């Protein structure tokens, strides 16, 4: 996708990651965007305004009272011109100012002024990021619709290791493209996605698990976010890379998933259950490692777990859309249709996990979308594309599709 003609205001605050924003500014310009850089005074200590001016071919603004380069009040002009407002790096300080509505320099004033979507790429020391004050500010900003990308974990310039590193320019660029997509049909909707497999403990070192990688759930969460939704993930065990910028609640056993879902699902507009919860758990969970009984067989009893999707189905809210998955190895359509009814779902995504290119661990999937009135068989597609098709069908069911 080209960003031709899009006006992006790039706010740069005072952190060492400011050098990465030069790469971002250049990437945005190459994609056709008009990039307006606003720097805080501290940012100008890390990177010279001239660097950004050269990369963007636009004047860099930093001083609120400097003689404006246009006759309009500059911060208002930029706030209005913006299709998107990006703050990268976003220090703890700018996040705190934004959360409180403080407008005491060019950047904080313009961001308070703008009605454009705002994307922040935090960068700071781990302790500053995990500090309760920062986390609360982030929560406040998220609740107001500010988008976040990162921070990532890793080695920080201060020598610490942990979350706080600004996302790479390419990751921020991808988040920008998401936000500028034309198809923002999920804006304002709360989407809850489950992903991964649950883990049923036998003893402190052993468990019963499954092959779910989390890829399909993550693809759904990313697609929903790209289309404007406010997304929450609940994940069991996953091996796929976590999507950046989506809040994740981790759960272990099916019963934990059950608790999290019965608490969170009623508040969501769309619930998509791509997780693979274990249907059974061990009757006894041993507090100590189970010892081998030489020569004697070991018999373990499994007891049934709650069916999470069925419980969410019983709690179904008016106007809510419930989507489930059905992993089948035989009689796909028939078994999936039964699950649709049993779990009070609106849509079931059925996949025959015996087919090459479908199911666990791979990047592709072959699915049939089954609703009460019809069944659409999709070809082999990437999980990202399958996610888009599922959301298209969901929006159609909600009466908002094309
Ligand atoms: N599911 C659930 N709780 C369970 C088992 C499954 O919420 N204890 C959900 C899955 O997240 C999925 C759907 O139900 O969205 C179907 O999962 P699947 O394993 O295919 O179906 P089961 O109901 O477990 O039926 P069976 O094992 O007999 O195929």
Min mean pLDDT across 56-60, 148-152, 154-158, 249-253 is at 154-158
Separation between Cα atoms, residue 23 and residue 16, nearest integer Å = 13
Tell me the C-alpha distance between 10 and 81, whole Å.
12
Q: Determine whether 235 is an active site residue.
A: no
Cα angle value 8/12/15 (rounded, 5°): 150
pLDDT of amino acid 178? 81
pLDDT-derived band at 127 (thresholds 50, 70, 90) equals very high
DSSP 8-class letter at 359: S
How far does CA 100 lie from the centroid of its chain? 25
Evaluate if residue 1 carries a pLDDT over 60: no
Q: In the prediction, which pLDDT does 220 show?
A: 97
pLDDT one-digit tens code per residue, 204-224:
999 999 989 999 999 999 999
Domains of the chain in sequence order: 7-180 (3.40.50.1950), 190-397 (3.40.50.10300)
- Work out the percent of the chain whose per-residue pLDDT is above 70: 96
H or E, element range at 93:
helix 92-100
Higher pLDDT, 340 or 355: 340
**pLDDT band of 401, cuts 50, 70, 90:** low
pLDDT class of 71 with cuts at 50, 70, 90: very low
User: How far away, in angstroms, is 343 Cα from ligand 1 center?
Assistant: 9
Mean pLDDT of 281-296: 94
Percent of the chain past pLDDT 90, that is, above it, reads: 74
Q: How far, in Å, from the CA of 276 to the mean position of ligand 1?
A: 7
- Beta-bridged to residue 152, according to DSSP, are 165
More confident residue, 256 or 155: 256
Can you tell me the mean pLDDT for 36-45? 95
Over residues 59-72, mean pLDDT = 65
Q: Alpha carbon of 180 to those of 119, 226, 337, 345: distances in Å?
A: 11, 9, 37, 32
Alpha-carbon span 322 to 273, nearest angstrom: 8
Q: With a cut of 60, say whether residue 59 has pLDDT above it.
A: yes
pLDDT score at 387: 96
Contact 89, 122 (CB under 8 A): yes
Mutate to test the pocket of ligand 1, among 324, 331, 336, 353 (most ligand atoms within 8 A of CB): 324
Average pLDDT, stretch 174-191? 87
Could you report how far apart the first and last alpha carbons of the chain are, in Å?
21
For ligand 1, atom 4: residue with the closest CA: 307
- Distance between Cα 307 and ligand 1 center (Å): 7
Structural contact between residues 42 and 72, judged by C-beta atoms closer than 8 angstroms: no
Question: What confidence score (pLDDT) does residue 181 get?
Answer: 78
Q: How confident is the model at residue 356 (pLDDT cuts 50, 70, 90)?
A: confident
Cβ neighbors of 94 (< 8 A, separation 6 or more) are 11, 13, 40, 87, 107, 108, 111, 120
The pick from 217, 280, 307 for probing ligand 1's pocket by mutation, whose C-beta has the most ligand atoms within 8 angstroms, reads 307
Q: What is the pTM of this model?
A: 0.66
pLDDT value of residue 360: 74
Q: Which atom of ligand 1 is nearest to the CA of 305?
A: 8
The preferred substitution site among 302, 325, 347, 360 for testing ligand 1, maximizing ligand atoms within 8 Å of CB, is 325
What value does the mean pLDDT take over residues 273-297? 95
Q: For residue 197, how far is its CA from the centre of ligand 1 (angstroms)?
A: 11
Contact 368, 348 (CB under 8 A): no
Position 65 scores a pLDDT of 61
**For all residues of the chain together, what is the average pLDDT?**
91
- Which atom of ligand 1 sits closest to the CA of residue 308? 7
Which has the closest alpha carbon to 106: 8, 5, 10? 10
* pLDDT over 60 (residue 3): yes
Handedness of CA 144, 147, 153, 159 (dihedral sign): negative
Winning range, highest mean pLDDT, from 143-157, 176-190, 282-296? 282-296
Task: Determine contact, residues 119/176, Cβ cutoff 8 Å.
Answer: yes
CA distance 228 to 142: 13
The SS3 assignment for 325 reads strand
The SS3 call for residue 263 is helix
Protein residues whose CB sits closer than 6 Å to any atom of ligand 1: 254, 273, 275, 277, 279, 305, 307-309, 324-327, 339, 343
- Alpha-carbon span 116 to 211, nearest angstrom: 42
Q: 61 or 92: which carries more pLDDT confidence?
A: 92
Of ligand 1's listed atoms, the one at least distance from the Cα of 275 is 11
Indicate whether 68 pLDDT > 60: no
CA gap 256, 251 in Å, rounded: 6
172 alpha carbon – ligand 1 mean position (Å): 36
If you average pLDDT over each of 79-83, 261-265, 375-379, which comes out highest?
261-265
């Amino acid at each position: 996708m080209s960003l031709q003609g899009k006006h992006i205001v790039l706010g740069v605050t005072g952190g060492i990651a400011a050098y990465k924003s030069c790469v971002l500014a250049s990437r945005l310009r190459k994609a056709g965007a008009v990039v307006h850089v606003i720097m805080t005074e501290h940012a100008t200590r890390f990177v010279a305004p001239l660097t950004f001016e050269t990369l963007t071919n636009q004047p860099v603004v930093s001083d609120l009272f400097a003689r404006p380069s246009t006759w309009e009040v500059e911060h208002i002009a930029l706030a209005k011109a913006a299709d998107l407002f990006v703050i990268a790096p976003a220090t703890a300080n700018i996040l705190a100012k934004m959360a409180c509505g403080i407008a005491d320099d060019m950047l904080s004033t313009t961001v308070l002024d703008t009605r454009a979507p705002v994307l922040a790429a935090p960068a700071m020391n781990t302790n500053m990021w995990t500090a309760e004050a920062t986390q609360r500010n982030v929560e406040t900003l998220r609740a107001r619709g500010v988008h976040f990308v990162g921070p990532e974990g890793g080695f920080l310039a201060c020598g610490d290791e942990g979350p706080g590193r600004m996302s790479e320019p390419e990751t921020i660029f991808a988040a920008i493209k998401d936000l500028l997509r034309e198809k923002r049909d999920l804006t304002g909707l709360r989407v809850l996605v489950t992903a991964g497999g649950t883990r049923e403990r036998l003893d402190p070192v052993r468990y019963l698990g499954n092959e779910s990688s989390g890829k399909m759930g993550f693809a759904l969460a990313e697609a929903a976010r790209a289309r404007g939704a406010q997304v929450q993930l609940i994940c069991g065990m996953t091996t796929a890379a976590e999507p950046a910028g989506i809040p994740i609640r981790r759960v272990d056993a099916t019963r934990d998933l059950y608790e999290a879902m019965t608490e969170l699902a009623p508040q969501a507009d769309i619930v998509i259950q791509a997780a693979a919860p274990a249907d059974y758990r061990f009757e006894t969970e041993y507090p100590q490692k189970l010892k081998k009984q030489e020569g004697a067989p070991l018999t373990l009893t499994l007891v049934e777990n709650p069916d999470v999707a069925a419980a969410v189905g019983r709690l179904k809210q008016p106007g809510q859309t419930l989507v489930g998955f059905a992993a089948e190895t035989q009689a796909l359509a028939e078994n999936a249709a039964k699950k649709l009814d049993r779990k009070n779902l609106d849509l079931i995504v059925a996949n025959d996990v015996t087919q090459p290119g479908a199911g666990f661990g791979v990047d592709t999937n072959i699915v049939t979308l089954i609703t009460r009135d019809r069944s659409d068989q999709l070809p082999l597609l990437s999980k990202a594309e399958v996610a888009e098709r599922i959301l298209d069908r969901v929006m159609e069911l909600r009466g908002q599709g094309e």
